[in-house]
Chain A
């Protein structure tokens, strides 16, 4: 299908998550969009379906050169930490969602964020320059209840099975969150095994990580388990929402175009109220998802209860955007149910993102105390 125009017809404008990009950010976005249009067309997504690696290292290197892995890394460690690294990263996440990019963009940046909390630590000094340069890939084992930690000699022993972990199979290092502690563990550690999973999202790989008493040294400990863990989860949720919005917006734009072109009973199907009323409602969902995601990104950026804002965003995004893309498929009728049509690729990404890092019901449960329950 080539590039899907995401401009809303009738306006010629595209409404994006962040309506207030400055010139520099707009240039950054355009560069990313051009890069993806050139290097990551939908044919590239399709070419990797069924591929065990599911990922293109050359493109990752180029993305790193564009700064996609250095936005949360301090400058003296090879990064380009600006005052607005989270906002900049959300721009990339959104563009990546539109293009269904494969690769550990989100996990690698989460790990960069975790290490960057203590930039003078040995771990940060050793790994942040590598991450920023795109030489090291990192994954995040984000199931704190699934991994048990015991002291063992000078270090720790990890036991348990955690998953799904995005891009665990290509990661050089894994950031393991276990309870309120975190460790950076090399992928080759004895007693650590990654099993590649099949999944709904054909454009991204997940793995299951098994720790059979894997030993990690005390020096592998990341941070002190404080409020930065909440900030880290908030960052992940906010970026994930931006990505989901990007993917859902393409599906919506495809559908708008389709209902204007497709004729039934002598007129475009988009003239029937049975469809246009739903499309009007879906526009509200999309705009609302952008508004709440934008607020989450801003809260995480400002470190102002980012987790609550991001859970709020995820609770909404994980509820409404799958509903939106499901209805996009319905409006396409039979052709939307064919493998050849690209719509299902976006449906798969949006439905999968909804569940990863906790779905709507989970977020609502976590938010209940915020309103006094």
Chain B
């Protein structure tokens, strides 16, 4: 695709965006961490409008409701749509991870049935990967599906799913054979989240919020035609899904809720506490400013490098190491700069750069999740060292044994 046609595309997109989308003031409505049912309905309407106008599923085949275009077209559109209300975060995983996985591994019927619905926002999908018995060790999953004629009966538990209460469907790996080794007894099912026997409960987090759910499956019936890939060959598809996720993160991934402290807030806080002349405090806060600048620069470098093929897509997950680092250090700095007022407060308290009482403590607690969520710090480092650096894996003792003989939680 030549530059010229991208530029023409961009110009057309700009005109369409200006005439059809709403420019937001202040905070991006797409970045609200838990959308209300009203906001979700609105997001679905916007997504449907985008899809109808040809601005959804840019790289998906036309046959299944996509546009048959390139990543460059998608980037051009997103750049033109910056500052407008587009629900790219709400539908981010649904389209870019699950939709892309179904497009790559689904049958013709599965693609026909779901892809146009996913791209238009009519169906919102989530992935149900983590289980209480293991999050990082994904292939050690124990949720069990037993085949019974033309359907499976599924029992077990999933956890840490975000947005499950708003979603319609899920992509859900299950164990279909316990006599085969760990990776060879897994199948991948498309599960209707409103199926009987499926119960959801919110999980309360250390910061007091309940953003995630856990799901209890008790005899949930899933039609056999909902299996993506072959029976017991689900791990291959999950690996593909993870590749797709990596590549997406490498291209910039989802918009994120940015809970990093603003450096300007930290400076104001230091000044309010009479610490602005303390050389150690100045260095600490300035070093955070440098770290944030560097993280911004390395992120831009990696997305460009991956896009142009000069860097391995695995570099995308390397960025998480730095994002987690700055998020945690900034939140810790705020808490300690605030001193006793950071850890104790009364309802009426507030003050310089502290919007509401307890804000520093809340940000601090929330920052603890950074290196756990979306791939733990340890798993990210394994992935980077194995994928990018080519270092060997640690030997596993569970690889070739029948899974029924492998110790698990």
Which A residues fall within an 8 A CB radius of B?
8-11, 13, 15, 19-20, 256, 259-260, 267-268, 270-273, 276-277, 279-281, 283-284, 287-288, 290-292, 294-295, 312, 315-316, 319, 360-361, 364-365, 367-368, 370-373
Contact = CB atoms under 8 A, between A and B. Distances in A.
Nearest to A294: B301
Counting chain A CB atoms within 10 Å of each CB, which of B300, B302, B304 scores highest? B302
A8 B388 contact: yes
A260 B321 contact: no
Contacts of B263: 371
B378 A271 contact: no
Interface in B252-290: 263-264, 267-268, 270, 276, 279, 282-283, 285-287, 289-290
Contacts of A272: 394
Q: Contact size class for B?
A: 35 or more
A360 B386 CA distance: 32
B297 to A, nearest CB: 4
A367 B300 contact: no
Nearest to B319: A284
A371 B285 contact: yes
Contacts of B302: 287
B305 A371 contact: no
A368 B297 CA distance: 20
The 9 A-B pairs of least Cβ separation, nearest first, read: A10-B390, A276-B385, A280-B384, A271-B392, A277-B381, A291-B297, A291-B298, A280-B381, A9-B390
B336 interface: no
B308 A19 contact: yes
B318 A287 contact: yes
A315 B287 contact: yes
A200 B27 CA distance: 52
B53 interface: no
Contact of A267 (B294, B312, B392): B392
B264 A295 contact: no
A13 B312 CA distance: 8
A319 B294 CA distance: 13
Q: Chain B interface secondary structure, helix, strand, loop or mixed?
A: helix
Counting chain A CB atoms within 10 Å of each CB, which of B263, B298, B322, B380 scores highest? B298
Contacts of A279: 385, 389, 391
Contacts of B268: 372
Given A15-B311, A19-B311, A276-B389, A284 B322 contact: yes
Given A280-B389, A373-B270, A373-B282, 5 more contacts: A9-B389, A10-B389, A259-B391, A284-B321, A371-B289
A284 B319 CA distance: 7
A20 B307 CA distance: 12
Given A281-B381, A368-B286, A287 B298 contact: yes
A277 B385 contact: yes
A288 B305 CA distance: 13
A284 B311 CA distance: 13
Contacts of A8: 388-390
A292 B293 contact: yes
A280 B390 contact: no
Given A292-B293, A312-B290, A361 B298 contact: no
Contact of A291 (B279, B290, B301): B301
Contact of B395 (A10, A20, A271, A312): A271
Nearest to A314: B290
Contacts of B321: 280-281, 284
B333 to A, nearest CB: 13
A295 B297 contact: yes
A315 B290 contact: yes
B393 A371 contact: no
Contact of A280 (B310, B385, B392, B394): B385
Nearest to A292: B294
A287 B394 contact: no
A300 B379 CA distance: 39
A368 B282 contact: yes
B295 interface: yes
A312 B295 CA distance: 12
A273 B377 CA distance: 12
Nearest to B295: A288
B276 A273 contact: no
B242 to A, nearest CB: 17
B209 to A, nearest CB: 29
A283 B391 CA distance: 13
Contacts of B75: none
A276 B390 CA distance: 10
